[in-house]
Structure 1
Amino acid sequence: MESKVGQSSAEQIVTNSGGSGNIESLTHCATRLRFQLRDASLIDQAALEKVPGVMGVVPQSGNRLQVVIGGAVQSTFADIMALPSMKSIGKGTSSDADVKAAARAGGPRGKVAWLDSFFEYLSDSFRPLLGVLLGASLIIAFAAVLDALGVVDFRATDKPATWVFVDAMWRGVFYFLPIMVAYNASKKLNVDPWVGAAIMGALMTPEFVSLNDPERFPSTVCTINQTLGSQSCVADIFGLPMQLNDYSGQVFVPLIMVAILGLLYKGLKKIFPENVQMVFVPFFSLAIMIPLTAFLIGPLGIWLGNGLGSGLAWLNTNVPFVFALLIPMLYPFLVPLGLHWPLNALMLMNINTLGYDFIQGPMGAWNFACFGATAGVLVLSMRDKDVTMRQTATGALAAGLLGGISEPSLYGIHLRFKRIYPRMLIGCFTGGLVIAVLGAPFGGVKTSAFAFTSLLTIPVFDPMWVYIIAIAAAFIVSMVLIIIFDYRTPEQKAEAKAEQEQAAADLAAEVAAPAAVTAAAAGAAAAPITPAEPTNEVMAPVSGQMVSLQDVDDKVFASGALGKGVGIVPADGRVVSPITGTMVTVAKTGHAFGIKSDDGVEVLVHIGIDTVQLNGDGFDVAVQKKQRVNAGDLLANVNLDTIKQAGFDTTVILTVTNTAALAAVAPHPAANVSVGQPVIDVEH
């Protein structure tokens, strides 16, 4: 889809992220593009949010940016990476974890860095598994529908071979879940993921499982828990007692194990020379961590998971009314912060230990309240003929109702319009209240599967009729409240109306322009069109002492990561455009300007080093984004004394950000220069 300026959505996303030269790396997850930028102040968030296909924009600390796309994220990512200007971006960055690891190297991202890292560790250990978990949950839903129709007894122990095979199709995902989690967690901590997977795999082999057989191993002692009806065995290994557990479906064990493995792995790499690391680091990792996990970490993880699950089970059993209301009211705040991952782990733990989970039922009330709010926004956008919001809401609603994914709704709509949350929370409360009242005789709403709460997985919940009433109530209440009371403030409604009117006017002008040209041609010979002058030189934006870019006191610029260029220690604060073209980026703080010439030369004028921290103090900006400028036109008047008094370097940095796309970019040698004097030669 082309914008009115002829750019595709992919090109607009790159441009409004500060241009390709500002992108250090790019990857994506299930619904979002994840950028690691060089200078986050160059982001034009308002313009990004208006790009067709973009559901939301989430700037983050550490020069990171998330752009919410939804189900089309893979194709959008491919379109961006196929752009000529992106050919040198992201090489060697194959995963989301790699990008975030680089971000962490730049310093903490929040007030409590370790807490941020902890939840990121949990999130990235599970996130890559969402697709396969969703696939398995739909297989379960299919079997549950057949069970409800009387085609097959889904819970029978003597099912025909065909249905035993169907069980294997979904059960394999959950049985080997510890190995998958260990793989992802290891990758997250820059440990060979196959080492982490192999350690968990050792505790799931037939040999390890056979240790539970007292007839084969007389030293194994088993006891029966009369209350739970479960068997607990202890084997004699190397003369030491080893508690034997079923580790299939466990998640806490691999998470704890990999955290310790990460420390050991890095320590071993420091001890052994690089030429023997390939052999000895995995060997000692396996030799140390498998026994440590079997004797200590495994039982500890089982105890921790059971303890947390038992605590929530107690709450669900003794105060079910409170529990049913608490879960849907908490989730709207947990999901945006990524704090819901521990609860997801508990759901899997409950299914593995109890055979069912009681958290997902109340969680469904939150999800459908979220989708109901999105449906309300869709209704209003259709009424108001708001094409952009209608597209956003349609994609988010489809992702929610069919996939159970709430992020497109949250980031694309709800977190952008603060009036949505109060209305959505009433829907959450209503759904939770239905489960609390109608589900009380049944001990709440339960499920034996890890299911994304969508329309397709309704059959896996029991009692299903209670669940249907609860999610329907949550959905309808949220939707109706949004429709009645709107999701925008009066100011936002007026702004949206003005934008629509402006868009209509722009479209009319575009349609009228060709007609005007045709009419003029019919009446008289058309005037010859003078082609734009090729950009072969980039001028000095300010007078002063020009220095080599390598001598600039900024590692990113000096490395050439933002293209070849020069630095100029300014003699005065008048900064002008170094080329003729269009303003692509105008930082709100006034410290940086991106200009693109008609023949595709992209330059960045960066005033001072770290001056973004001045928040515009001392900068009087004279241009705006999309404005046409000629070489020598004023960009900004800058108070150099203000910069110096704040302790920052005043050097003006000039780079050609798309150096890689040009035949040659040759900066001139260091010298005293005057404003408008050529300082960089360019060849196409």
Structure 2
Amino acid sequence: MSSSSPQARSTAEDIVRGVGGPENIESLTHCATRLRFQLHDGDKVDRESLDALKDVMGTVPQSGDRFQVVIGGAVAGVYSQIMALPSMAAGGTARPQTDAEVKAAIRSKARGRWSWLDSFFEYLSDSFRPLMGVLLGASLIIAIASVLDALGMVDFRAEDKSATWVFVDAMWRSVLYFLPIMVAFNAAKKLQIDGWVGAAVMAAVMTPDYLGLGADTPGVTCTTNDLLGTEQCVAQVFGLPMQLNDYGGQVFVPLLMVALLALVYKGLQKVFPANLQLVFVPFVSMLVMIPVTAFLIGPLGIWAGNGLGSGLAWLNGNAPIVFAILIPLLYPFLVPLGLHWPLNALMLQNINSLGYDFIQGPMGAWNFACFGATAGVLLLSIRHREAEMRQTATGALAAGLFGGISEPSLYGIHLRFKRIYPRMLVGCLAGGLLVGLLGGVNTSVFAFTSLLTIPVFDPMLTYVIAIAVAFVIAMVLVYFSDYMTPEQRAEANAARDSAEAAAAPEAERELATVGAPAGAATAGAAAGSSADGAAAADGGAAPADGSAAPAAASSDGSSEGSSAGAVVIGAPVAGRLVGLDEVSDPVFASRAVGEGVGIIPADGRIVAPADGLLATVAATGHAFGILADGGAEVLVHVGIDTVTMQGEGFDVRVAQGQRVSAGDLLAVVDLEKIRAAGFDSITLVTVPNTATFAAVEPAPAGEVAAGDVAITARR
């Protein structure tokens, strides 16, 4: 039965109905074996109907309108099915807040002295993030063309290219040229105004008629910029001078424009009645913002870029070492704003007038630091099994290394995670410093700074050393310090584990399901879901370091291995062994997760109770599921409700999928922290697939050492 099958959906719906419906659910989480509901009204729960469900092993009402539904190792899959229900789209409904809670929520929204910087990066990120697909597509087309150019099969930048290659150019230029319109749409949506109005305002200054205004148009005068070698035209419109510019690729202009448009748009919404807003708010917004963009905001963006180019030319002539360091440190901030585009004209002018360009060399240090940071993210995405980020980083890295395109890395990754920029800047600084100290790097052609264009830089060795250092430093810093905060990483890993559990084929999930047939369990409990409760946390196998338990002695005195019908399970911790009847948790006491024992621990060293495979290791460190040799599923659960400690005081020494031997150390637990937090530290050892054995016999109560026989499961 797949996780999306009608039966699975029916179970999820029945559980939601049994706890009083989605409107009665404030929030839902899960641990190793149980769904944990926070309800608005606990009295609305229909325990009888829930207990009658085939996939429910038991129910546990708790104080404070909390309610637990025991599922077993398949809990993650059931949780995912519940959260996927249309009625649970909002993830639960918040209960009415008190006045004090409302005030606290408002105060919590304040983000400190740098809140404006957080908002700025969020504005940039959300303006570009939806464009990642087309940006990656365009960049890879450029990368392919660059490879063919480097191999001499086509002149990628020739003026007389064939119609075929002009058409290929159109395939990627469509994205980069019209990027301002796309950015305007997304930025407007981010600021909660009509995205199409933002796009329309930006498109007005990119129409063929506007771009066709030139020296031969009445009322237009043109001059030449001696430094950049570019022509600048001014048109008289309504008797006012309007600077004409080509805004293709200029993302700084739409970002500025939309920020002002949002104020105008929202102001108009307050002026016009609701029944007139559909027509008059967009109409007046366009009437105001198109001229403001054409006369003021657009030229302002171009002037900023041109002024920056002139300043850099002066700096390179007077302080070349400072220039070599400054360029790679500036570019990470220029590129997201589109202010780097005017520098392309300066590069071409340098080549035409000087015979070489001095910007592209140090710029390469920035590009390769950027690509190095992306490589660090890619390695982390592989390590943490993040499929979406792995795809994004792979495409961005390919576009960067072979096409010299940094936008996919920036817009798709770096601007989304603020931890990346400081680490990337260290790589930029190191690469730029080497360029400056080693005498600078020049090139006689305009080239994308990629692996394929390394030979065009002189001296090539200096350039290779600089970009290699920039790449490696950025990659290493990002990889070892992570691009996510610890809180973001924990949340991402939990989401990944739940997604993996939900997507796993039914046959695999059954291996990790508490109470699954032993034959199925032996086939692959290692595929069980992750520790935080994904599919086998309370009943699946868990790799820790536990070798197979000693074989039980048969009645005639001969040694009887687990394959002969008995599996011996040792005590995972030293202490006083008690029966499950003495355990305060009703789920364990009722044997809902199998026969077993409790051990009041004497120390915090938790060891593997048998040889086997660790199918699950809870991220919080409180639960381990082991598929013991011989087919017994063994659950080691440290403490009662200790999942709520979120790993505090639990030092896990093993990983899911690891094979262990009896006595191998699974974790070191701070028992005092558990008790100080108000939780019972008793350690439970159960056999969730008890029904598959003829008998599961707990050892007599009394003092035990770690490794002493605690349970014997007989065929």
- TM-score relative to the length of structure 1: 0.50
The structure whose Rg is larger is 2
